[in-house]
């Protein structure tokens, strides 16, 4: 497939000028893959949380009695162990104090809202789960609404990836314009779209190890992007010089 031929050229430093022939659809595909790789840690964390929450039915008899009134938790204090994680029920901790919770706490019913571990801005008001008003409705939700929850999670992840997609597209467009401008000042024959095309391959390939490492270590090693300088510099050196005009 021609798509993989360009990857081979990038990795072997061969025929870089031919990146100008990359179809625009390949560029869009690269940015999509780049967005997914960057979102990979978030996706795995969110799906893992939902999977663990779906197993709450295994300990349904241990769920404490509680009610949600005026967006506040009123009920017993309890900590449930579930698949190496913990589910906390408490009225002593607020969302502003969620940083006090241990790493093992995957999900928590707090005084004024819920907490979901490892999700940016992972605290939400109880209106976020309006169908859950007490321990009985929680049990019913877990047993009957999980299929719908997976659908909403899919929509949420899709929106998350789309937002990253447009952000990266815009960022790489401006980067390509900047690099093309600099190359022009250096008297090189250049076009921003060619920078855009080769840059999409470079960033897509480098984002793969960044995403995989982040899934297992929860750390983004953005320093890996420094490797991008090598093909960028090589491509710059392969650009032909501008023809001199005689007046």
Q: Binning pLDDT at 50, 70 and 90, where does residue 247 land? A: very low
pTM, rounded to two decimals: 0.76
User: Given CA atoms 15, 21, 23, 24 in this order, what sign does their dihedral have?
Assistant: positive
CA distances 221 to 38, 227, 242, Å, are 11, 12, 38
Reported in sequence order, the residue ranges of the chain that DSSP labels E, i.e. its strands, are 66-69, 72-75, 78-82, 85-89, 105-109, 114-116, 123-124
Total length of the chain: 247
Domain ranges of the chain: 2-44+153-238, 66-133
CA 168/CA 162 separation, integer angstroms:
10
For residue 164, the tally of other CB atoms under 10 A from its CB is 19
β partners of residue 67: 74, 134
CA 1/CA 156 separation, integer angstroms:
32
Spacing of C-alpha 87 from chain mean position: 24
For residue 136, the tally of other CB atoms under 10 A from its CB is 13
Strands 66-69 and 72-75: what pairing?
antiparallel
pLDDT in tens, 147-181: 677 888 889 899 999 999 999 999 999 999 999 99
pLDDT at 83 over 70: yes
pLDDT at 60 over 50: yes
Whether 89 contacts 109, CB under 8 Å: yes
What are phi and psi for residue 108, nearest 5 degrees? Answer: -145, 140
pLDDT in tens, 99-129: 888 778 888 899 888 888 766 667 888 887 7
């Amino acid at each position: 497939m021609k798509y993989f031929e360009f990857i081979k050229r990038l990795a072997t430093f061969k025929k870089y000028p031919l990146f100008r022939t990359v179809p625009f659809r390949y560029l869009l595909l690269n940015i999509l893959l780049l967005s997914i790789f960057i979102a990979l840690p978030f996706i795995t964390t969110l799906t893992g949380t939902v999977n663990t929450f779906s197993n709450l039915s295994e300990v349904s008899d241990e769920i404490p009695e509680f009610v949600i009134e005026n967006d506040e938790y009123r009920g017993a204090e309890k900590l449930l162990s579930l698949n190496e994680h913990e589910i906390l029920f408490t009225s002593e901790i607020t969302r502003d104090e969620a940083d006090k919770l241990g790493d093992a706490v995957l999900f928590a019913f707090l005084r004024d809202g819920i907490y979901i571990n490892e999700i940016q801005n992972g605290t939400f008001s109880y209106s976020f789960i309006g169908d859950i008003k007490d321990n009985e409705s929680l049990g019913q939700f877990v047993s009957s609404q999980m299929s719908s929850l997976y659908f909403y999670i899919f929509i949420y992840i899709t929106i998350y990836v789309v937002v990253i997609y447009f952000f990266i597209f815009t960022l790489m467009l401006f980067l390509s314009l900047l690099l093309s401008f600099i190359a022009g000042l250096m008297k090189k024959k250049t076009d921003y779209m060619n920078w855009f095309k080769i840059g999409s391959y470079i960033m897509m390939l480098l984002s793969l190890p960044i995403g995989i490492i982040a899934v297992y270590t929860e750390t983004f090693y953005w320093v890996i992007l420094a490797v991008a300088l090598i093909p960028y510099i090589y491509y710059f050196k392969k650009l032909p010089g501008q023809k001199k005009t005689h007046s």
